[in-house]
Structure 1
Amino acid sequence: MKLSRIAAFSSSLLLGAVLTLTGAGQAQATDTALALDYVALGDSYSSGVGAGSYDSGSGNCKRSSRAFPKLWAAAHSPSSFAFTACSGARTGDVTAGQLGPLSSSTDLVSLTVGGNDAGFSDVMTTCVLQSESSCLSRIATARAYVDSTLPGKLNQVYSAIRAKAPAAQVVVLGYPRFYKLSGNCVGGLSEKERSAINAAADYLNAAIAKRAADHGYDFADVVPPFTGHEICSGSAWLHSVNWLNIGESYHPTAAGQSGGYLPVFTSRA
């Protein structure tokens, strides 16, 4: 009786060891299966302008080690990672200068683009330096561009990505709203201007999301995580006007990259 119990106990130990080793082997196999080739494309919101810690080798593209693509790659160790996003990029810049790393073996692509095409920088310059009526007029011009021209520009870049990386999952990320309305900002833009700028961001995001969906791409909305962290919130993840480094104005801080963009991208990737 004792011998049979010992044999049974020994057998269970052996079986447990086998299952443990098998499970470890399966986990290792899964890790290998999940290895992927990742390419990060786009404008300053992808390159990480505003987050600091820029790679000197990236020059005016200002690619930051705190940008969400770099953070995601550091956390997930893809088998390859190419980071070609560049400050100031428009759709044509992406197609002309950023798609080199894409290939039939590319598994994952991230992209932010469209804001510069729509005149983001000029809108904010006009609103900060000129009258309320000039600000609202410039926003109306930007919205008209989003209606008339931007969809075709987005189609071109989305189609170019698919042509070079036919099997890739493409995650297109949007832009945050800039302002918390009725927030704690004193002076500066009027509440009407802030509201119009936020509405323009929503309008741009809707156009980008529609084109992304039509191409079978995932759209990642960053408005929810940035809610409560807009300019005038008291806990902003966005720079307001930065007169010492004007190019960082209205861009995510390091916290905006890690707390806003990274979780949304991770949930889609």
Structure 2
Amino acid sequence: MKLSRVAGAVSALALTVGLAFGGAGAAHSAERASTPAYVALGDSYSSGVGAGSYDSASGSCKRSTRAYPALWAAAHRPSSFAFVACSGARTGDVLGKQLGALTPATGLVSISVGGNDAGFADTMTSCVLGSDSSCLERIAKARAYIRDELPGRLDAVYSAVRSKAPQARVVVLGYPRFYRTGVACAGLSDTKRKAINAAADHIGTVTAKRAADHGFAYGDVNATFAGHELCSGSAWLNSVTLPVDESYHPNAAGQSGGYLPVFAAAS
């Protein structure tokens, strides 16, 4: 998910915000053959924005070698690995630009999508720069979209994924709650933090239901991120930062400690 729209406002307001290879060729070939072809779809939470170490060839998609898809592929050596998740992707982008990586031979798919459709960037801009009331108003608008529009858009994506990769195990990853609440914390009020977390729970509930109805696994990352939210003192998410598009995204620890174990367990 991207926060490019808030870049000017942030600047203006100055927010400070081992595998041994020798003698093991046959064993590794067998392992590689037994691990299915893997395709990683979705938005910036899957591409790894916020984790650094970006593949220069991925351009504005900002695919990180520290993102959970790349980490899983490095550890499991799938027979092939197509990493097509892209920063800023919405459901329409997945349908129009990413599904070409899928084939009938694809055995494993991961995806996170829906946050950009629901207005992640605008919502966080309103909450960072505005009052409690303006933040809550924008969150209410996002939640109405999540309730009324997002299920159909997710259905379209999930149906297309199943059509393109009929034998694949599909793992849908959710988004974490951003904040620890009920504690003193510089920045957003507790009112804003609670409302943002509630919206994250809402999109998670909707996404999990749509995934289940398509026979897909759902990876809830809230348990792994617990104790590592913003305002926890050991955050696995960036707060407002530069480059601004990395704000409110998992850092490298969030990818390896928050996302990777959940995906590995579900895959």
Please provide the CA RMSD for this pair.
1.6
CA distance in 1 between partners of 2:203 and 2:28 (Å)? 43
Alignment of 1:20-59 (within 5 A): 31=31, 34-59=34-59
Match for residue 253 of structure 2? Answer: 255
CA distance in 2 between partners of 1:179 and 1:140 (Å)? 18
TM-score by length of 1: 0.87
Match for residue 199 of structure 2? Answer: 200
Q: Secondary structure at the match of 2:170?
A: strand
Match for residue 5 of structure 1? Answer: none
Query: Who wins on radius of gyration, i.e. which is larger?
Result: 1
Alignment of 1:26-175 (within 5 A): 31=31, 34-175=34-175
Structure 2 counterpart of 1:255, one-letter code: A
Structure 1 counterpart of 2:246, one-letter code: E
Q: Secondary structure at the match of 2:118?
A: coil
Structure 2 counterpart of 1:64, one-letter code: S
CA distance in 1 between partners of 2:29 and 2:51 (Å)? 36
Structure 2 counterpart of 1:262, one-letter code: L
Indicate conservation of the 8 Å contact 2:32/2:79, yes or no.
Answer: no
Structure 1 counterpart of 2:264, one-letter code: T
Indicate conservation of the 8 Å contact 2:45/2:112, yes or no.
Answer: yes
> Residues 38 and 191 from structure 1, CA distance in 2 versus in 1: closer, same or farther, beyond 3 angstroms?
same
Indicate conservation of the 8 Å contact 2:71/2:256, yes or no.
Answer: yes
Q: Secondary structure at the match of 1:202?
A: helix
Structure 1 residue 182, shift from structure 2 partner: 2.3
1:189 aligns with 2:153: no
Match for residue 9 of structure 2? Answer: none
TM-score by length of 2: 0.88
> Residues 142 and 114 from structure 1, CA distance in 2 versus in 1: closer, same or farther, beyond 3 angstroms?
same
Structure 2 counterpart of 1:98, one-letter code: Q
Structure 1 counterpart of 2:225, one-letter code: F
Structure 2 counterpart of 1:206, one-letter code: T
CA distance in 2 between partners of 1:101 and 1:93 (Å)? 13
Q: What fraction of aligned residue pairs are identical, expressed as a percent?
A: 67
Structure 1 residue 101, shift from structure 2 partner: 1.4
CA distance in 2 between partners of 1:170 and 1:35 (Å)? 14
CA distance in 1 between partners of 2:34 and 2:115 (Å)? 32
Indicate conservation of the 8 Å contact 2:32/2:78, yes or no.
Answer: no
Structure 1: gaps of 5 or more residues: 1-23
Structure 1 counterpart of 2:175, one-letter code: Y
Structure 1 residue 245, shift from structure 2 partner: 1.1
CA distance in 1 between partners of 2:172 and 2:184 (Å)? 32
CA distance in 2 between partners of 1:34 and 1:201 (Å)? 36
CA distance in 2 between partners of 1:60 and 1:245 (Å)? 12
Count the aligned residue pairs: 243
CA distance in 2 between partners of 1:251 and 1:80 (Å)? 27
Structure 1 counterpart of 2:34, one-letter code: L
Q: Secondary structure at the match of 2:106?
A: coil
> Residues 73 and 32 from structure 1, CA distance in 2 versus in 1: closer, same or farther, beyond 3 angstroms?
closer
Q: Secondary structure at the match of 1:107?
A: strand
> Residues 235 and 245 from structure 1, CA distance in 2 versus in 1: closer, same or farther, beyond 3 angstroms?
same
Structure 1 counterpart of 2:101, one-letter code: P
Indicate conservation of the 8 Å contact 1:111/1:172, yes or no.
Answer: yes
Q: Secondary structure at the match of 1:99?
A: helix
Match for residue 218 of structure 2? Answer: 219
Structure 1 residue 36, shift from structure 2 partner: 1.1
CA distance in 2 between partners of 1:84 and 1:28 (Å)? 25
Match for residue 265 of structure 1? Answer: 263
Indicate conservation of the 8 Å contact 2:33/2:79, yes or no.
Answer: no
Structure 1 counterpart of 2:253, one-letter code: A
> Residues 100 and 231 from structure 1, CA distance in 2 versus in 1: closer, same or farther, beyond 3 angstroms?
same
CA distance in 1 between partners of 2:233 and 2:208 (Å)? 29
Structure 1 counterpart of 2:117, one-letter code: D
